[in-house]
Structure 1
């Protein structure tokens, strides 16, 4: 018995039977680089916008403590870090146990790099917490 002979001949298929064979397309590397540059530029623009909106603020309020809680008010002490020559106005907000806003006031902040403020906020219900969500420059009247 003899071993079968191995053949390594290339098989040619009949033309038109399996469709036309695609030739490899040249890669368009410039298109990939252009799209990557556009995506990177858009990402940087979005990052810059978010930094401007949510980044470091000119005024940094921080509640130190709140005390003297009654059914109609709460006392709060907070500090605002800012430029020494600037005056500011801060929103002070109290919430009840259900999380509803029960008191809101605009409080003037004096000049100084770290202005310390004590304020008594009137409320419509018994508060459980107080916060200073935002401060802005005091507009001259």
Structure 2
């Protein structure tokens, strides 16, 4: 699977005519510290005000309890667990999210279809920002 989330030029719009980005808070669920730091930096550089990072399901659910995100990027495989429980909570709350996975077979195991697509690792900065732009579109339409 590729990371075909659209044209990178269509990422979060900028300029005088651009509407404010409705994605201000992102939950990043990733068990690899290196990947999490890189993705967090990309999101901040992309204009996201608040990035909450969680390395496992319990930490992610605690972050959601603390404050619901506008969008989430979920690593599907988190060591000995998956992020499906987090996806279910987000789905029930109407929060768009995107799965990320480095395992092709994980795509078949994903029980919920993420509204912002699936990123296959390694993903790029453009891939992340396209997912944020897709979330912003979904939020604006709701």
TM band (smaller chain): under 0.3
* Structure that is richer in strand per residue: 1
TM-score relative to the length of structure 1 = 0.25
* Structure that is richer in helix per residue: 2
